[in-house]
Amino acid sequence: MKDKAVNFMKIEFDARSINENFARTSVAAFAAQWDPSIAVISDIKTVVSEAVTNSIVHGYAEQEDKSKCPIYIVCKLNENGVINIKIKDKGRGIEDVPTAMQPLYTTDEGGERSGMGFTIMQSFTDRIKVSSKIGKGTTVILEKRLTGR
């Protein structure tokens, strides 16, 4: 049975590195209304950073004009104290999601990326779902229980 949403937020922004902090802060501020611990807020900021950075760095890697590269975030706070965070891009997509989610897997041939983004997201959330289509983009759905202090 789906839990009823008690609040909802939707934002869209360009896939520019400068917007990564905006995304993480916006989602953390939205989650704060449930009065979670500082640790939970930190976890939320971390997973949003990872997902948004993946969209910017991998999803839109070939795009020079980032004004044509949207990232969408939809958040729902549910009556059961769980936040659902959906982060979506319309980038190049992931060919093999299970492989991409393996620790240390990276397509970065320059060696600047560690391949730990999905591993971090899995570690700091209660549930993660990733769906992707080549040429259509990637959607990451994160679920985190917000426990009050």
Catalytic residues: 50, 54, 113
DSSP labels, 83-141: EEEEEEE-SS--S-HHHHTSTT----TTS---S-HHHHHHHHSSEEEEEEETTTEEEEE
**Cβ neighbours around 133 below 10 Å, total:** 12
Cβ-based neighbour number of residue 64 at 10 Å: 7
Distance, in Å, from the CA atom of 75 to the CA atom of 48, rounded to the nearest integer, reads 11
Distance CA 107, CA 21 (A): 24
